[in-house]
């Protein structure tokens, strides 16, 4: 009975699971506007390294960042599997995130989500604050606000 | 009746009325006897009250009603325009505006009754006229009015039907003006013999006879109905006449088959009482209407409240909820119908051009000539279309500046200085988005002038200046830009004081500061947190201001500079681009990348030999027609390898910002092009050299260089 109750209250959120190397990252589907293959990227001079530049997505100019570089990982050449996840935190401002590949759409239940330790939070610059423990392994859930850099601007 | 669909119109029109009220109240304050201003105020207040009633906004209606009563007293002369009264009325106006703002945000008028303002107005009215004290319950007063009106009308001669004509405010205004101007105003009821066959013709002759002597203002039934013979054997009218009543009566009676003409002459007072009766007649109708709608409005109101209340509570909890607080009304723009017609024509031309191209594309070889022609045609149509659409987006800056006279009035009282504001060029047009954003920076500058710029009257007198300080705002178009100058004839900027402040703040050492030019010193004023005010007031001096002004204006693609002379005043000069979305640009190539340089910052393009370059203080310059111009190598700035061959001449694009110039070295020129500006988004922090991006014909993204940042 108790279990049933828990089951009822336990809400699932859909995440797009993307991979960087062997690690899985989850992005809340409600922020995702689009997923595209890598088009020609126009370099923009004098910006942070993790920004690769801007792309033209159906007439919109959208900045793109390489998530690998953002997370301090080694840069990889783009392959046929590389994708740009277009996310919109607020309706006027889109951002493209370059990932190695898109794996799947996954329901993660509230009960599966755990907060990461303070050290881990520090270690990832606050990009990851929660982790989903799923049947398919650990999925680090991206805190998009900090990944995209809203926090950084305040410093 | 569901009124929600009218909300947009209601808000637009309310704002217009509020603006009229504010403007005219300012005039009234200056010229308490100005009848035009009072009539104008009355009309606006009345419309506003009516609209609020129809929309079911009871509090707004009540407050407007009280205000309107007050103006009624002023108009009838039973109350004088005092500074105290105007202060309260301005407060009431602010409260009215507050209601409208709340309505815009939540569709609900909120639950602030603004009782203190209502009571204050009533108190002043009571003191002035001895009758306002009945007002706390205005409904009662209204019915009292009705009773009074009724009492007035009832014992009157049955035949004097003209007393029942419904006059609108404007007609009344016209007649009152005429009486004041020494003309006569008569009300007449004309009775035609019942045997008359062509009563419309007789009526026509009567009206014509009266119009020979003056002007017929109102008739009952309407002139159309009289013409169509839709009346019994009598009709009533009001006329303004140069002659006396007997002459007028004689003129009427001279028309055959007229049985009787009953009439009397009206004085201003009678005309006003007449208005009282008419207004009273209108008022119950209005409130009945309101009652009818009230239940439905109530039905929706609580729903809205429930939605918004938790949202505002959760405001701190997170971003997503905060969106619920955004205004519920989308932005509208009023467009001249002619502009729309032009648009429509262009679009039909576009369709024709498209059809011709489609058929040319089907037609095989022989059609390539036609195709070329049509492409050219298409090009000219799209250019015109662009221009037309831009024009639709253009609005006069009036809407941004018309709140300033009122603001200056308030500042005058607060700062205890004498000042006047002159505005010219308020009809100058700018893109709607710019006009929306420019209000705040301008407000900052005007407050700045009022607080820091203008001296106290005694100080001014000591300097031999007129006691009344002047703040001015001039707007005009200059080529592809609009210039707005805000300034004052006050004390100007004390450059040495600023210089001392820079040293004091540790922003520069004493030696460096001493070497700054006046211009460089003044530029420090735009630094965040740099305030010159000796004491912080709530008007300015908290160090937020000029830096905000500067960043706001720059985000609109403009720039701001200042001219100042000690003891003569300062002028802030704002230059704004005429349009935001599309600009003419020179396309250039640096390295292998394409860039666009806005055409209006370019003066010339020069071909320069490497050997012509000279070094001044380790910086490259060229001498061009007597001016020394610093050289900026774009490949260095943009961090790319130049593809330029050292043996060939360099291509130097000369750009200007105000009086200063710079030469930008590029690798190749592509030509001139119209580009649509797209923002890079708020997440990328460029070093301001790149102001945006644009998409070229083949889908490639090119970046737009902000030449101003390079000078």
The rounded percent of chain A whose pLDDT value lies above 70 is: 90
Domain that holds residue B688: 582-710
Residues ≥6 apart with Cβ < 8 Å to B498: B521, B522, B524, B525, B532
Using an 8 Å Cβ cutoff, are B682 and A88 in contact? no
Contact: A44, B680; criterion CB under 8 Å: yes
Distance CA B541, CA A140 (A): 48
For position B168, what pLDDT does the model report? 74
Are B295 and B420 part of one and the same domain? Answer: no
Tally of CB atoms within 10 A around A135: 6
Which domain CATH number covers B216? 3.30.70.1110
Contact: B637, A48; criterion CB under 8 Å: no
ipTM: 0.85
| Residue B346 forms part of a structural domain | yes
Contact: A61, B681; criterion CB under 8 Å: yes
Are B207 and B74 part of one and the same domain? Answer: no
Residue A127 has phi, psi (to 5 degrees) of -70, -30
Measured between alpha carbons, how far is residue B393 from residues B256, B430, B545, B580 in Å?
60, 8, 29, 10
Are B190 and B145 part of one and the same domain? Answer: no
> CA B221: distance to chain centroid?
40
Are B368 and B411 part of one and the same domain? Answer: no
Measure the CA angle with vertex B98, ends B109 and B33; round to 5°: 120
Distance CA B700, CA B561 (A): 36
Question: Which residue of chain A has the CA closest to B318?
Answer: A145
- Judged against a pLDDT cut of 90, whether residue A81 lies above it is answered with yes
DSSP B320: H
Q: Measuring CA to CA, which residue among B457, B464, B465, B463 is closest to residue B417?
A: B457
Number of domains present in the structure of chain B: 5
Are B349 and B403 part of one and the same domain? Answer: no
For position B473, what pLDDT does the model report? 93
Largest CA distance in chain A: 61
Are B677 and B537 part of one and the same domain? Answer: no
Q: State the DSSP string of B161-213.
A: GGGG----HHHHHHHHHHHHTT-EEEEEEEEE-TT-S-HHHHHHHHHHHHHHH
For position B156, what pLDDT does the model report? 43
Least CB-CB distance to B686: which of A47, A149, A153? Answer: A47
For position B288, what pLDDT does the model report? 40
| Residue B324 forms part of a structural domain | no
Are B559 and B619 part of one and the same domain? Answer: no
**pLDDT tens for residues A92-120?**
678 999 999 999 999 998 888 888 888 87
Helical axes B138-153 vs B58-76, angle rounded to 10° = 50
| Residue B160 forms part of a structural domain | no
| Residue B569 forms part of a structural domain | yes
Domain ranges of chain A: 2-154
| Residue B474 forms part of a structural domain | yes
The architecture (CATH level 2) of A2-154 comes to Beta Barrel (2.40)
Token reading at B381: 């149509």
Measure the CA angle with vertex B147, ends B158 and B169; round to 5°: 80
Using an 8 Å Cβ cutoff, are B604 and B634 in contact? no
Classified as helix, coil or strand, B10 is helix
pLDDT, average across residues A4-26:
82
Are B430 and B548 part of one and the same domain? Answer: yes
Tell me, yes or no, if B534 comes closer than 8 A to chain A by beta carbon.
no
| Residue B506 forms part of a structural domain | no
Q: How far is A149 from chain B (nearest CA, A)?
A: 7
For position B463, what pLDDT does the model report? 86
> Which of B581, B695, B701, B704 is the mutation pick for testing A, counting most A CBs within 10 A?
B701
Q: Is B46 a catalytic residue?
A: yes
**pLDDT tens for residues A48-65?**
889 999 999 887 889 999
CA atoms within 13 A on the CB side of B301: 17
| Residue B318 forms part of a structural domain | no
Residues ≥6 apart with Cβ < 8 Å to A124: A71, A116, A140
Q: Measuring CA to CA, which residue among B404, B143, B165, B401 is closest to residue B274?
A: B165
> Which of A28, A43, A45, A60 is the mutation pick for testing B, counting most B CBs within 10 A?
A45
**pLDDT tens for residues B676-693?**
888 787 788 777 788 889
E strands present in A38-153 = 51-57, 60-66, 83-90, 93-99, 101-109, 113-115, 128-134, 137-142
Are B20 and B44 part of one and the same domain? Answer: yes
Which parts of chain B have pLDDT scores under 50?
A: 131-156, 276-328, 535-536, 538-543
Using an 8 Å Cβ cutoff, are B153 and B207 in contact? no
Distance CA B228, CA B676 (A): 59
The rounded percent of chain A whose pLDDT value lies above 90 is: 47
| Residue B517 forms part of a structural domain | no
Which domain CATH number covers B703? 2.40.50.180
For position B299, what pLDDT does the model report? 40
pLDDT, average across residues A7-19:
83
């Amino acid at each position: 009975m108790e279990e049933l109750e828990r089951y009822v209250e336990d809400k699932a959120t859909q995440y797009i699971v993307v991979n960087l190397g062997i690690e899985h990252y989850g992005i809340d589907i409600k922020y995702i506007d689009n997923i595209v293959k890598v088009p020609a990227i126009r370099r923009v001079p004098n910006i942070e390294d993790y920004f690769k530049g801007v792309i033209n997505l159906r007439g919109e100019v959208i900045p793109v960042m390489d998530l690998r570089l953002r997370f301090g990982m080694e840069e990889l050449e783009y392959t046929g599997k590389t994708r740009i996840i277009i996310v919109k935190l607020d309706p006027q401002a889109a951002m493209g995130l370059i990932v190695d590949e898109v794996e799947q759409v996954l329901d993660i239940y509230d009960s599966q989500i755990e907060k990461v330790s303070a050290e881990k939070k520090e270690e990832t610059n606050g990009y990851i604050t929660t982790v989903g423990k799923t049947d398919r392994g650990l999925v680090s859930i991206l805190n998009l606000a900090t990944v995209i850099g809203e926090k950084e601007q305040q410093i | 009746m569901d009124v929600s669909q009218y909300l947009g119109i209601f808000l637009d029109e309310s704002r217009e009325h509020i603006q009229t009220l504010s403007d005219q109240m300012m005039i009234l304050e200056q010229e308490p006897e100005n009848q035009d201003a009072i009539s104008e105020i009355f009309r606006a207040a009345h419309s506003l009250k009516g609209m609020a009633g129809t929309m079911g906004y009871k509090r707004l209606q009540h407050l407007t009603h009280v205000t309107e009563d007050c103006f009624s007293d002023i108009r009838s002369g039973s109350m004088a325009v005092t500074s105290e009264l105007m202060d309260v009325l301005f407060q009431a106006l602010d409260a009215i505006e507050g209601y409208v703002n709340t309505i815009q945000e939540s569709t609900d008028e909120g639950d602030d009754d603004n009782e203190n303002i209502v009571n204050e107005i009533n108190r002043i009215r009571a003191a002035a006229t001895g009758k306002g004290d009945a007002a706390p319950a205005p409904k009662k007063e209204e019915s009292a009015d009705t009773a009074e009106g009724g009492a007035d009308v009832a014992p009157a001669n049955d035949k004097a039907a003209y007393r029942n004509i419904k006059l609108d405010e404007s007609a009344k205004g016209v007649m009152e003006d005429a009486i004041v101007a020494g003309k006569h105003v008569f009300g007449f009821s004309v009775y035609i013999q019942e045997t008359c066959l062509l009563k419309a013709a007789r009526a026509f002759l009567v009206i014509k006879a009266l119009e020979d002597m003056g002007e017929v203002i109102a008739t009952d039934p309407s002139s159309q109905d009289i013409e169509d013979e839709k009346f019994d054997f009598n009709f009533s009218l009001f006329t303004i006449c140069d002659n006396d009543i007997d002459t007028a009566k004689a003129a009427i009676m001279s028309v055959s088959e007229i049985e009787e003409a009953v009439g009397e002459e009206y004085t201003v007072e009678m005309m006003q009482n007449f208005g009282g009766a008419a207004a009273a007649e209108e008022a119950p109708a209005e409130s009945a209407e309101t009652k009818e709608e009230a239940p439905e409005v109530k039905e929706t109101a609580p729903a809205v409240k429930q939605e918004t209340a938790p949202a505002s509570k959760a405001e701190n909890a997170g971003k997503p909820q905060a969106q619920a607080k955004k205004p519920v009304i989308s932005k509208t723009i009023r467009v001249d119908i002619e502009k729309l017609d032009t648009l429509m024509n262009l679009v039909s031309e576009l369709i024709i051009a498209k059809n011709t191209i489609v058929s040319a594309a089907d037609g095989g070889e022989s059609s390539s000539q036609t195709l070329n022609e049509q492409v050219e045609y298409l090009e000219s149509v799209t250019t015109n279309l662009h221009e037309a659409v831009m024009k639709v987006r253009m609005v006069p800056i009036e809407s941004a500046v018309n709140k300033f006279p009122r603001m200056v009035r308030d500042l005058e009282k607060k700062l205890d200085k004498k000042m006047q504001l002159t505005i010219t060029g308020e009809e100058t047009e700018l893109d709607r988005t710019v006009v929306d954003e420019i209000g705040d920076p301008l407000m900052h500058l005007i407050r700045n002038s009022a607080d820091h710029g203008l001296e106290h009257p005694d100080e001014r007198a000591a300097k031999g200046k007129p006691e009344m300080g002047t703040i001015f705002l001039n707007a005009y178009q200059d080529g592809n830009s609009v210039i707005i100058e805000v300034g004052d004839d006050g004390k100007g900027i004390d450059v040495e004081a600023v210089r001392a402040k820079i040293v004091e703040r540790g922003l520069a050492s004493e030696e460096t500061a001493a070497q700054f030019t006046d211009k460089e010193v003044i530029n420090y004023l735009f630094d965040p947190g740099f305030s010159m005010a000796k004491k912080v007031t709530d008007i300015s001096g908290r160090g937020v201001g000029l830096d905000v002004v500067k960043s706001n204006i720059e985000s609109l693609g403009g720039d701001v500079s200042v001219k100042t002379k000690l003891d003569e005043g300062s002028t802030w000069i704002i230059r704004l681009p005429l349009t935001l979305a599309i600009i003419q640009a020179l396309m250039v190539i640096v390295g292998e990348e394409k860039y666009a340089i806005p055409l209006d910052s370019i003066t010339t393009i020069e071909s320069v030999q490497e050997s012509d370059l000279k070094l001044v203080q380790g910086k490259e310059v060229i001498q061009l027609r007597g001016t020394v111009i610093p050289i900026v190598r774009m490949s260095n700035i943009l961090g790319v390898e130049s593809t330029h061959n050292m043996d060939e001449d360099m291509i130097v694009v000369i750009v200007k910002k105000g009086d200063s110039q710079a030469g930008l070295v590029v690798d190749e020129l592509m030509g001139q092009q119209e580009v649509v500006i797209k923002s890079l988004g708020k997440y990328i922090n460029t070093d301001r050299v790149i102001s945006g991006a644009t998409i070229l014909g083949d889908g490639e993204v090119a970046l737009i260089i902000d030449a101003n940042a390079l000078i």
